[in-house]
Structure 1
């Protein structure tokens, strides 16, 4: 729970703070009359004064075209950072499987996450991105392995497994809810630095709790072969190599997030066209090339692994891989919550005096906390009647509800006022529908990985599940970046134009998500046969 407090607190502030850094470095303020009008509107919407020392001052008072450009850049960078956070889970899972054990990995990851968030709290872009780099590595060790330990609490075939993961999911969302109510508010209304620092303090609380309660776990999470920890390579123990390599990763991620650079691919793809219709070199950001390369490597690894397991295990793993690939699409849409929906909430939802960053980053968690136990009990009740839908059907339902939620966002534009602000209740209701979809897929997905893969591959496959989330985050950043761009043919865009841009994008997301859900429901009988009773 405390780790989720830290993670979701960081997530709530990440995109907005990046936008703040961009706009602060190249500040283009509104005209004096517009500036005064903005201050009045801000006070009306938020019930607080917009002064120069307010955390969101530069975001709120920049000219709209510069604000849009900053939103677009920060959405992509947000997605990239989140992608690296989840991608590192694959590496963390392998280290835990082969050397460290889950328990030790969780503790080391937690320490790095605390250091990372405290570093992010320091003023300026350099310490912020340095802290992000440390956080990326720490989360990679923590996130997949704590989930795997939950799976280890249940024996194979235990019908309580799905319900157990739903309750686990509810528990971690209590942390997400609390962070949305506290860190999101403190960071965007009091001080960015205090928000990040509070996240670090809570991570330390979580580590202390983990240390005092780990005796109750028995042998769960201990190193697979303790003797191997002391084996030496080049005079250094395997145990120490894990620490060294995890630190080596940090400057690599720092370069990717702090010094984004492009590679000229004109020789391969020809010239590109910019927003003004001019021919320019076809440039590909190195980080994009890196993500594509890693995707190819991981897919090859999964294919290789599938061909080196028993026949029955192979068919189960095939289903797991199919569902993991679908989950990339799901997270690309769902994770608009940390990117474009954060900006949409601030700029296009009538707040009624509430802090909309706080609302956006707590309402989903609130619905999870309230609904997860009910969904868990529903699966148990249906299982007793032998009517529980299989894993593939649950995935399909997850997509359908996700799409319906984004349709609510789309239709909210027809209820907007003249200023381009939509009703708060539609925003909250849309998240309820999306949360139902999330509960059909995400906790069940965690359970699916442990059910459909051999025990010896649980850590790696759990890492692969989070790697799919990484590419979902990456896709979310690309989608959010596109949604933030108002049509360049509009000379003086207004908030209504911004609303139109966002909601039309959400309509497209809705149709694709519902379509994917229908496909999964149609192929579920075929995949169920391949699951050999495991789903």
Structure 2
């Protein structure tokens, strides 16, 4: 606790020292999360006997709740727990969920998933907020810092996204793991890496100085707010008490529909209420943040086919012409691999352009993200021209599409984390980060619906017909992406005025 906030922010070079500590905690947490994400559809179809339409809807519901709870986690971090305690509590819940799944994934699938949903909600938005607090307002190195942090996210996603599903399917370490225990071991691996994440955070958090301390602590952002111990305990007990409710809602996608119809409008009303308490200048920044949030829903609804329909597409319509790799493993981890290649160079590019005052503003970066996303889906559409009569096409061409889509993600997602911290008022940091992830929840929800519609269209058809149906759908998604990107670029001058001094 020796470091002050000014000392932390007065760093030399490109990155603050503390970002590496947060990098590794997030890396292992993302291993757990993306390992789980990669296994969902495959496990539900192969082990639980779900049809493709139901698996897609179930995937969308599960992922929607994961991201929806980031708003809850951000809210409780702002008001009661602080970022550090929220992160630790979330990590414990994720470990518990992974252990439950490792013991009996077939009978306790939704029970274990419910723990990981709530745990991610408390962990994910708060570690991102702490990264933002490492920088002074207006520091041009902030985007580069979030880009590096995003590399940590994707190093974990690469490892977890490939190895968990490959272990579960018996593709790797099959000589050492009994055939009937592969899924148990895969879920156990998620628990082990989450333990590593928490251990890293506990032993390095002293370097964070006052960042993330509970409200009411003399060195926190809100020293005047006094939190009673019973309030903190009530949060812990309350989150455990609602697990049966979450389990019921996640297991029945129709309940997810009701939830999504209600939580979005209520959350927006709450934010509008909070906006009445701020200055006009702060309000304009929050309105600009809402523009980013709305467009991010569209982006994630299109992008997040990777865990749903593209998972099925990879399993049934892709060959192994890329180093004999598992197509589903590539689908789940390929984007993360490319982010690792691009993160540091792209971060340095933003710094280089920033020093010369020619760096594209954030809204233009968002627009470019959509254009790359659309181009990537057009390449997936083009895989139909490389297919054989059985509807099997090239994994290599598909991987090129993942590279292009990843360029789009790199223009949007890490920059989105950064811009939420820049446009938020001090007391709404956690709430706005939660709003950003709540937008992802709606994107995941939409992604599940889109994937289910594709699966419905292919029932009763041949594998080749399925390829045509899926790729036609991806062409439409590409078109929607391009339209959204062009629109963002057109309105960029108006959004820039709302952002004021934020770059």
Task: Verify same fold: TM over 0.5.
Answer: yes
The 5 A counterparts of 1:402-481 are 402-481=373-452
Indicate the residue corresponding to 2:137 in structure 1: 156
Indicate the residue corresponding to 2:249 in structure 1: 256
- Aligned to 1:141, what secondary structure does the other structure show? helix
Unmatched segments (≥5 aa) in structure 1: 24-68, 262-284
Indicate which of 97, 114, 131 corresponds to 1:116.
97
Whether 2:471 is the aligned partner of 1:533: answer no
Whether 2:473 is the aligned partner of 1:505: answer yes
Whether 2:213 is the aligned partner of 1:216: answer no
The 5 A counterparts of 1:284-295 are 285-295=254-264
Indicate the residue corresponding to 2:338 in structure 1: 367
Indicate the residue corresponding to 1:314 in structure 2: 283
In 2: Cα distance, 1:386 partner to 1:451 partner: 19
Q: Post-superposition shift, 1:506? A: 0.2
Indicate the residue corresponding to 1:78 in structure 2: 59
Q: Post-superposition shift, 1:176? A: 0.8
Whether 2:124 is the aligned partner of 1:127: answer no
CA distance 1:184–1:309, change in 2 (3 Å): same
CA distance 1:306–1:18, change in 2 (3 Å): same
Indicate which of 58, 69, 90 corresponds to 1:88.
69
Indicate the residue corresponding to 1:14 in structure 2: 40
Return 124-133 or 477-486, whichever deviates more.
124-133
User: CA contact under 8 A between 1:93 and 1:463: conserved in structure 2?
Assistant: yes
Deviations 1:94-116 (A, max 9, x none): 11001111011111100100110
In 2: Cα distance, 1:179 partner to 1:487 partner: 30
Q: Post-superposition shift, 1:533? A: 1.9
In 2: Cα distance, 1:124 partner to 1:200 partner: 13
In 2: Cα distance, 1:314 partner to 1:307 partner: 8
Q: Post-superposition shift, 1:71? A: 1.1
Indicate which of 238, 243, 264 corresponds to 1:245.
238
User: CA contact under 8 A between 1:188 and 1:357: conserved in structure 2?
Assistant: no
Q: Post-superposition shift, 1:424? A: 1.5
- Aligned to 1:158, what secondary structure does the other structure show? coil
The 5 A counterparts of 1:260-339 are 260=252, 285-339=254-308
Q: Post-superposition shift, 1:286? A: 2.7
Indicate the residue corresponding to 2:8 in structure 1: none
Q: Post-superposition shift, 1:246? A: 1.2
Supply the RMSD in Å over aligned alpha carbons.
Answer: 1.5
In 2: Cα distance, 1:408 partner to 1:166 partner: 26
In 1: Cα distance, 2:501 partner to 2:276 partner: 21
Unmatched segments (≥5 aa) in structure 2: 1-26, 175-181, 218-222
Q: Post-superposition shift, 1:296? A: 1.2
In 2: Cα distance, 1:10 partner to 1:219 partner: 33
Q: Post-superposition shift, 1:121? A: 2.0
Deviations 1:441-476 (A, max 9, x none): 000000010111111100000000000000001111
Q: Post-superposition shift, 1:333? A: 0.8
User: CA contact under 8 A between 1:306 and 1:318: conserved in structure 2?
Assistant: no
User: CA contact under 8 A between 2:367 and 2:484: conserved in structure 1?
Assistant: yes
Bigger Rg, which one:
1
